[in-house]
Amino acid sequence: MLRGFYTAASGMLAQQRRQETLSNNIANAQTPGYKQDQGTVKAFPELLIQRMESADVPVKHRVNFPVQQTIGSINTGVYIQEAVPDFSQGDLRETGVGTDMALVNGNMPDEDGSIFFTVQNQAGEQRYTRNGNFTVDGDGMLVTNQGFYVLDQAGNPISTDGLEFAVTEDGTLQMEGGDIPLGIAYSADANQLAKEGQGLYQLNENADELADARAMADVTYSVQQNYLEGSNVDSLQAMTDMMQAYRIFETNQQVLKAYDQSMEKAVNSIGRLS
């Protein structure tokens, strides 16, 4: 009976965390370049049930041997193993703002491959983003809306000197002072990236460094100026999934209450001395 408590409780916790993931997706439905998270539900390791008994051997001097008989396996519940980002392409939205840029995936030779802008976080470390909602700061540097420097192909912050520029489809800034290629990285397995917050991704531990997308002959992409890539969150589907998670949570809650009532009866009635 106690195992039933744990199974129902684990189901409630899994659905609660699933609700949190879905809520975060809905909250970022209007965030440019946001990639929705998908919670992966996994069962706890199964337990093998065996019956322990003994058998007598018909000999002169009685001998007793322990015997194990396999009954079967039982599952002990579920949990949310991790939240995996979905890197599918989001819809493009025209803004008319010259510093806005959208990455459009072309041919990706790897099933989980994707491309990213390269930026520099506050600690001076290289990070990756799909959010091309850029601007020019007071020093003429191209930065994200959070103030992170946008990097060029060589990994250096891009200075526009406050001049207007055009962006080619291969991601090159054209201005009076010369052309500057944007830093565009390619990941063969985007699942090796972890969300850091503020639209940034970082490499997981022991993950391979991202390659320069321009150096990959079989990678094709385009950069659209005056556009932003929208999030790939399907708000209606997310709301439906939230309702489903709520119903499953309620079902596990009712099961937990039933076990609690049974335990109460066992303690207060069956176990009472007459």
User: Using one digit for the tens of pLDDT, what is the confidence trace for 153-168?
Assistant: 999 999 998 889 999 9
Residue 60: per-residue pLDDT:
60
pLDDT band, residue 231 (cuts 50/70/90)? very high
pLDDT computed for residue 259 by the predictor:
80
Name the phi and psi angles at 159, rounded to 5. -105, 125
Averaged pLDDT for residues 115-133: 94
Q: Are 127 and 119 in contact (CB under 8 A)?
A: yes
Decide if pLDDT at 243 tops 90. Answer: yes
Of 145, 158, 150, whose CA–CA distance to 118 is shortest? 150
List, for residues 167-212, the tens digit of each pLDDT value: 999 999 999 889 999 999 999 999 889 888 889 999 888 777 899 9
DSSP output for 132-154: -BEEE-TTSBEEETTSPEEBBTT
Residue 13 tokens, joined:
């916790």
- pLDDT confidence bin for 100, thresholds 50/70/90: very high
Residue 272 has what pLDDT?
A: 62
Helix, strand, coil fractions of the chain, as percent rounded to 5: 25, 40, 35
Helix (H, G, I), strand (E, B) or coil at 103: strand
DSSP state of 155: S
Instruction: Specify the residue for token string 């009635």.
Output: 269
What are the backbone dihedrals phi and psi of residue 81, each rounded to the nearest 5 degrees, phi first?
-70, -45
pLDDT band at 74 (very low <50, low <70, confident <90, very high): low
CA distance 31 to 21: 15
Domain boundaries, the chain: 2-83+248-270, 88-229
Percent of the chain with pLDDT over 90: 52
**Least reliable range by pLDDT among 1-15, 45-59, 213-227, 232-246:** 45-59
Angle (CA) 198-93-186 rounded to 5° is 55
What pTM value is reported for the model?
0.78
